[in-house]
Amino acid sequence: MAKTENISKQKIEHIAWLARIELSDEEKKLFTLQINKILEYFKIIEDAKTEDVHPTFNILGLSNVLREDDVKPSQSNVEALKNAPIKERGYFKTTKIV
């Protein structure tokens, strides 16, 4: 397993600056350790032998599991607007939101 590039405290500070968050020195140390640990796990995954493994898109082997469309009549405009508190020219009307 090859050694991964470590994230420095300065890079953490730069990321925090980009995200516009303030971090204490303790948080910077903690995040540096945590992100470097995550990168180590990525390296382990990267080194996994996958040459003979075929890509798997769906483990169940199912495709197009959809029901057929069932056409049914819909409500009439009058019926749909029956309980609307405010309606205008056959449409729902709401208060203006800006």
Range of the domain at 42: 9-46
Query: What tokens does 72 get?
Result: 């049914």
Other beta carbons within 10 angstroms of residue 12's beta carbon come to: 19
pLDDT of residue 98: 77
Domain count for the chain, please give it. Answer: 1
Cα–Cα distance, 84 to 62 (Å, whole number)? 43
pLDDT of residue 5: 73
pLDDT of residue 18: 97
Element (H, E) at 46: helix 25-46
pLDDT of residue 4: 57
65 located within any domain: no
Each residue's pLDDT expressed in tens, for the chain with a length of 98 residues: 455 578 999 999 999 999 999 999 999 999 999 999 999 999 999 999 988 888 877 777 777 778 888 999 999 999 999 999 999 999 999 988 87
Q: What CATH code is carried by the domain that includes residue 30? A: 1.10.20
pLDDT of residue 44: 92
27 located within any domain: yes
Cα–Cα distance, 40 to 2 (Å, whole number)? 10
**What's the farthest any 2 CA atoms get from each other in the chain?**
71
79 located within any domain: no
40 located within any domain: yes
Cα–Cα distance, 59 to 46 (Å, whole number)? 22
pLDDT of residue 25: 95
Question: pTM of the predicted model, to two decimals?
Answer: 0.49
Residue 11's identity, in one-letter code, is K
